Amino acid sequence: MDSFRRIAALRIQAAQDRTHAVTEEVSRVENKVYASPGSQTILRFAKDAASRIEALLETEKQIANSSPLTAPQLETRLYRISRLLPLLHELVGFVDGSDVHQCPSQLIPTLRRYSKSILPGSEIIVSSKPELNYSIQDIAAPLRNLFSGTEVESSCALLPDLLFVVTIPVVESGQILIHGVLAHELGHAIYDRHGIAKSLLPMITVSEDMVKKLVPLMMNSQGKGAGAPSELGLRRKVTEEVTERVNGWVKELCSDAIGIQLFGPALFFAATHLLTSFSRIDKATETHPPARLRLRLMLRMLKQRYPVNEWSEGLQSLCRNWDEVSSGPVSGTNHYDQIALETINDAVLDFVTLASESATSACARYDGERFRNDIAQLAPMFLNHIPPGEMPPYIGGVPVGLASIINAGWHVYLCDFDKFRKSLHPKDGDTRFAAATKLHELVLKAIEISGIRISWEEARRDSKR
């Protein structure tokens, strides 16, 4: 028993070292300049929780030394506290890559404001990570759940209602046009917040017939040995696998649909440039549908909501080509994928579109009229090297919205890029990539100007109150 107590004391000390490391790390990074106040919120939370855990461990040390608790009782008490330690380490990791040098600081104020407008009570942190991937994750709710009922619960008061950590690829942090896919990530947040799964998924049924047809095939391929699963067991497994895929894929598709509602064609353009640049067009995973299906839905929505036939020839031709490619048959790589693909038919895509519409307010939606105006007014400004952050007149100018700036930028990239490139200094227009970088910089500058203009108006209003 004595050795258990001695070991318990050592373990508590080791756990205290872990908390101390968190506190030290927070002190090291808290003076960095972060693009979003959300990063500081996380650091404050981690520091506060670490100090509470350290104090609790100190109490445990005394209990371990003096009380007549049994070994299992001590083990339980200790675990109840120490299990929170890996979470604190993970939390500090979320902040990594979110300082102004590593993420597009021009974008963040505007993106924060945008996310607050569609998801009231939310805060957003954009963090650049090494993966070529975009993601979004609300960490406030899971933290509240994990810390609920523990002695550290009160630290959760520091958290906002929703705290989204959005990751973007670090080496592409300046590629603002590709960041149009953030509309899809915001779509995820809206999908969860509005509980769309609850209303949408019951409308989609996996065909029993397709499952029934697959099971004998699987039984034949697996043989009929002693350890082979029964027909009923296989049927259950197939249904589970397919349902998991359908649920995950519908979530992704609905997030795409919401993204199209929010950002319009810019999401489609960004998705066509990102999704298919490093992956096979028909590749699916358990959570993500094939890019071909996603692009089919997006293009379908654009054709329903935008006068695509009136767009410039360049855009029309792009859409025609993608239409042909995306409407082609998707070849599933396995039987589960194939059934999921057959389940998500045109009727399901209609449900998804409707769900996305009901989840977004009319004023948050980008539409054909705005796209037409943005192309007419903002795109020529880009071509003349003027970032369209505000609409003239420049005295009392009106700030331009995020979606408008990105859509106009895409239009220049897709339809007038050669003209833009030729207008640059020979060094800047030397390569296609260098010229594109200049365009990205202009788009980011426009977003920055728009953000400064809005922040200034807000600050002025606040000071008058």
Partner 1 sequence: MILSAEKIRKLLEHPDPNPAKRLVISPLLDVQKQIKAGTASIDIRLGQRFHVPLRAKLSQLDVMSPTHQTDLLRYKDDTFVPIGDYFVLHPGQFVLGETLEWVHLPTDLVAFVVGKSTWGRDGLIIATAIGVHPNFSGILTLEISNVGEIPIYLYPGLAVAQLFLASVQLSTESVSPVPSAFQIQTAPRTRNVDIEDREIIEIFAKHLKTTNL
| Residues 311, 410 contacting (CB under 8 angstroms) | no
Out of 287, 384, 430, 432, name the contact with partner 1 by CB under 8 A: 384
What DSSP element (H or E) covers 91? helix 85-95
Out of 105, 150, 261, 407, name the contact with partner 1 by CB under 8 A: 105
Q: How far is the CB of 140 from partner 1 (least distance, A)?
A: 24
Out of 93, 169, 248, 380, name the contact with partner 1 by CB under 8 A: 380
| Residues 186, 124 contacting (CB under 8 angstroms) | no
CA distance 219 to 133: 38
Give yes or no for residue 441 binding partner 1 (CB under 8 A): yes
Beta-carbon contacts of 195 under 8 Å, excluding residues fewer than 6 positions away, are none
Q: How far is the CB of 269 from partner 1 (least distance, A)?
A: 22
Of residues 71 and 398, the one with the C-beta less far from partner 1: 398
Draw the binding track, 30-49, toward partner 1 (x: CB under 8 A; -: no contact).
Answer: ---x----------------
Give yes or no for residue 29 binding partner 1 (CB under 8 A): no
Give yes or no for residue 461 binding partner 1 (CB under 8 A): no
Q: How far is the CB of 312 from partner 1 (least distance, A)?
A: 18
CA distance 248 to 242: 10
Place of tokens 């509005």: 194
CA distance 410 to 231: 53
Amino acid letter, residue 174: G
Of residues 338 and 377, the one with the C-beta less far from partner 1: 377
Q: How far is the CB of 112 from partner 1 (least distance, A)?
A: 12
Residue 425 tokens, joined: 């200094």
> Cβ of 151: how many Cβ atoms within 10 Å?
15
Of residues 341 and 443, the one with the C-beta less far from partner 1: 443
Cα-Cα-Cα-Cα torsion 247, 140, 260, 324, nearest 10 degrees, comes to -40
Place of tokens 């600081």: 105
Out of 202, 396, 461, 462, name the contact with partner 1 by CB under 8 A: 396
Counting residues that bind partner 1 (by CB under 8 A) gives 34
Question: What residues make contact with partner 1 under the rule CB under 8 A?
Answer: 33, 100-101, 105, 380-381, 383-387, 389-390, 392-397, 423-425, 427-428, 438, 441-442, 444-445, 449, 452-453, 455-456
